[in-house]
Amino acid sequence: MIALIDYGAGNLTSVRKGFAAAGAELTTPRTPADLATATAIVVPGVGHFQATTPLGGEWRDSILHALEAGAALFGICLGLQWLFDSSTEAEDVPGLGLMSGRCERLPSTVKVPHVGWNALAMTRGSRLLDRIPDGAQVYFTHSFAAPVTADCVASATHGRPFAAAVERDRVCGVQFHPEKSGEIGLQIIRNFLRLIAA
Amino acid sequence: MSTAPLSNLSKRIIACLDVRDGSVVKGVNFEGLKRAGDPAELAARYNVEGIDEVVILDVAATIQQRRALADTIRAVSSKLFIPLAVGGGIRSEADADAVIEAGADKVSLNSAPLAEPQLLTRLAGRYGSQAVVVAIDAKRENGRYAVFSRSGTTPARRDAVEWAKEAEARGAGEILLTSIDRDGTRAGFDCEMTAAVSSAVAIPVIASGGAGTFDHFLDVFTAGAADAALAASIFHYSEHAVSDLKKFLRDAGVAVRLVS
């Protein structure tokens, strides 16, 4: 079972359609306990970091349990930011903290939100971005972003370089929307499905 | 000495499909389309060519109080894995719910927020600002840019720059700015108006109205400071208009997304 967590941050129709096009059906768990049988967990989300508040408590514990049991994790957009320690957008809301660093607003030297297609600069080899060429363009829409750290597998630049994709073991995240990034995006979803099976 | 670019963000080319009763109303005559006016087939065609985004505008909606057709949105979004915005007759949260549930990523609102600006804040709270586009139809009047509602028929007694700033403050994520003076003329975008609005807000501005040649796009991305440009009929002229336009812009030094 691939679990798509619906915590009320945005519409999930497009994410479902994207995974369906890549050949996978997503299940929305009703309770955190349902994650016990998950082979993978997708954390989507758009908007304010405050919106991740419902992911604290039981959800957080169940997600960490599932990871220990071998599940893979895929954070999309706000879901990537949530993998980190915190965000200056909502200082009192902790992230999952699997990846070190704090998300910050993109600089005001450029238009924010960052909306549109931007290029991926590969920083190291990655299973998530397997066969995705350096410079491939994907669709972003966000105002805050995670720092470029050792977990970063591709960066993008808007005002400053930020983490466009992260990967460590079976934990992945993308700041862009693979479900809205054309064939490149669908390939990234397929790569994640392959990572689950590996 | 070279300096790192501030941003590698591409300028977007957006195709607008004016739809009425489930069919694209402006002349579409591509070979190889099973049904010439089928929005899903046309959107899929543009997608292959490398269009960056699609807008479905239910052209009869505002005047006839009709809602955008959910079936059309479902059909288009099932074949399209790029952003899809829907506008025309969206007057309430329930209207927005219906099109987003059907597969739209963004809703474009024109008349309703002029009458009730708080609607923008509520929609942004519900779906995020990235899902809320404010469409502004404006024409030059006495050195100002006068906003019109209800498909350009009713003066809103607002200035486009001021309204764009208010829309941004209330939660809009993008502005779709249409020049009523230029719309349908193929005489070029209103670059002055676009630049005036684009420089006044931090959110992206999509220029619309007047596209006739590839040079017009270059102008609106440079002199007009547009973040994206929208057109309808220019893409109907030839089968490769989208990819040819993007190659033209790239060769002129504009960052665009090219698909292989």
- Choice among A114, A152, A167, A179 that is catalytic: A179
Are A82 and A97 a contacting pair, CB within 8 Å? no
What average pLDDT does range B208-214 have in this prediction? Answer: 94
Considering only CB atoms, which chain A residues are within 8 Å of B5?
157
CA gap B193, B139 in Å, rounded: 9
Q: Do B101 and A11 touch (CB under 8 A)?
A: yes
What average pLDDT does range A147-171 have in this prediction? Answer: 98
Q: Is the pLDDT of residue A131 over 80?
A: yes
Q: Is the peptide bond before A113 cis (omega within 30 degrees of 0)?
A: yes
Between positions 69 and 98 of B, the ones with CB within 8 A of A are: 77-78, 81-83
Mean pLDDT over the full length of chain B: 88
Q: Which residues pair with A74 in a beta bridge?
A: A42, A172
Q: Which of A35, A90, A108 is nearest to A67 (CA)?
A: A35
CA gap B229, B209 in Å, rounded: 9
Q: Is the pLDDT of residue A65 over 70?
A: yes
Kindly report the nearest CA distance between residue B12 and chain A, in angstroms.
Answer: 7
Q: Which of the four pLDDT bands, split at 50, 70 and 90, describes residue A48?
A: confident
What average pLDDT does range A153-180 have in this prediction? Answer: 97
- For B54, the closest chain A residue by CA position comes to A180
Please indicate whether residue A88 or residue B34 has the higher confidence score (pLDDT): A88
B18: annotated active-site residue: yes
Q: Which of the four pLDDT bands, split at 50, 70 and 90, describes residue B61?
A: low
User: A24 in contact with B at a CB cutoff of 8 Å?
Assistant: no
Q: Do A115 and B204 touch (CB under 8 A)?
A: yes
Report, in angstroms and rounded to the nearest whole number, the Rg of chain A calculated over CA atoms: 15
Between positions 219 and 248 of B, the ones with CB within 8 A of A are: 227-228
By CB atoms closer than 10 A (0-12, 13-18, 19+), residue B225 is: middle
Here the tokens at position A75 are: 């954070």
**Best residue in A19, A49, A109, A139 for a mutation probing chain B (most B CBs within 10 Å):** A139
What average pLDDT does range A114-143 have in this prediction? Answer: 97
Q: Do A157 and B12 touch (CB under 8 A)?
A: no
Q: Which of the four pLDDT bands, split at 50, 70 and 90, describes residue A58?
A: very high
Q: Which of A130, A158, A131, A155 is nearest to A144 (CA)?
A: A158
Q: Which of A67, A16, A19, A69 is nearest to A41 (CA)?
A: A67
Give the tens place of pLDDT for each residue, B127-157.
889 999 999 999 999 989 999 998 888 999 9
Considering only CB atoms, which chain A residues are within 8 Å of B82?
139, 180-182
Give the tens place of pLDDT for each residue, B106-120.
999 999 999 999 999
**Best residue in B130, B174, B242 for a mutation probing chain A (most A CBs within 10 Å):** B130
pLDDT at position B68, please?
47
The structure's pTM equals: 0.94
Here the tokens at position B11 are: 């300028």
Q: Which of B222, B52, B6 is nearest to A116 (CA)?
A: B52
User: B27 in contact with A at a CB cutoff of 8 Å?
Assistant: no
> Which one-letter DSSP state was computed for residue B236?
G
CA gap B87, B96 in Å, rounded: 9
Q: Which of the four pLDDT bands, split at 50, 70 and 90, describes residue B1?
A: very low
Are B56 and B84 a contacting pair, CB within 8 Å? yes
Are B224 and B195 a contacting pair, CB within 8 Å? yes
Q: Is the pLDDT of residue B79 over 60?
A: yes
Instruction: Name the residue among A116, A140, A141 with its Cβ closest to that of B227.
Output: A116
Mean pLDDT over the full length of chain A: 95
Q: Which residues pair with A27 in a beta bridge?
A: A3
pLDDT at position B238, please?
67
A158: annotated active-site residue: no
- For B199, the closest chain A residue by CA position comes to A111
Q: Which of A9, A6, A50, A7 is nearest to A144 (CA)?
A: A50
Q: Do B105 and A10 touch (CB under 8 A)?
A: no
Write down the residue that tokens 């719910």 correspond to: B97
Q: Any idea which of B65-74, B116-125, B173-182 has the lowest mean pLDDT?
A: B65-74
CA gap B133, B114 in Å, rounded: 13
- A147 to each of A153, A164, B3, how far by Cα in Å? 12, 9, 21
Instruction: Name the residue among B81, B129, B257 with its Cβ closest to that of A117.
Output: B257
Q: Other C-beta atoms within 10 Å of B200: how many?
A: 15
Reduced to 3 states (helix: H, G, I; strand: E, B; else coil), residue B73 is helix
